[in-house]
Amino acid sequence: MQGGDLGAGDGAPRPRGTTAALADRVATLSASATGADGAITVTVASSGNVTGLDLDDRALGLGAPGLAGEILRTMRRAQSSLADEVETAVAETVGADTETGKAILDGFTQRFPADEPREPAAPVMPSPPPFPSFTTTPTLPHQAPGNGYESGRDSRAR
């Protein structure tokens, strides 16, 4: 078969030459990033999956929502630095200006963009309505103010 050897029993053609070297090199890449002043370190594999997560005791001071958000931001930074490493590997093997190089770089930069996505602003809750104040004014004009009974005195006490 021209264009590549068959894979190890899977029947898929295996690339040769510089493309194979690039594939092998990209498969072994990993990247790490730190966040929260070094309290969090995230390592990702070439697929972008998290392979390591190290938390310092200082990370616990962030609280659960803060810790989750900082882990995600740090993971995204690690993934975008992975795209930078792939760019270096492509330039050193097949070249960034070749079709193969452009396709691989486009795939990584689309999956792992360099700019961090903007988080939506925290919703602002409207202030609660003022607590109702109760007055002792009668509801009907002919009633005198009383203690809440119909004539101002307890009609049940007869």
The string of pLDDT tens digits covering residues 53-85 is: 999 888 888 888 888 889 999 998 998 888 888
Mean pLDDT in residue range 97-108: 86
pLDDT at 3 over 50: no
Predicted pLDDT at 6: 41
Helix count (H) and strand count (E) of the chain?
3, 5
In whole angstroms, give the CA distance from residue 104 to residue 98.
10
Q: Which pLDDT value is given to residue 109?
A: 83
Q: Which residues contact 118 (CB under 8 A, 6 or more apart)?
A: none
The helix-helix angle for 63-92 and 17-27 (nearest 10°) equals 160
> pTM for the complete prediction?
0.58
Instruction: With beta carbons less than 8 A apart as the criterion, state whether 110 and 80 touch.
Output: no
Closest CA to 29 of 14, 49, 4: 49
Q: Looking at the predicted structure, is the pLDDT value of residue 7 above 60? A: no
Q: What is the mean pLDDT of residues 100-112?
A: 85
Q: What is the pLDDT of residue 124?
A: 67
Spatial separation of the C-alpha atoms in residues 93 and 105, rounded to whole Å: 13
Q: Please report the pLDDT score of residue 42 as a whole number.
A: 93
Give the residue, 125 or 136, on which the prediction is more confident: 125
In angstroms, the Cα distances linking 102 to 46, 54, 95, 99, 156 are 17, 34, 8, 5, 92
Contact call for residues 78 and 42 (beta carbons, < 8 A) = yes
Which pLDDT band holds residue 44 (cuts at 50, 70, 90)? very high
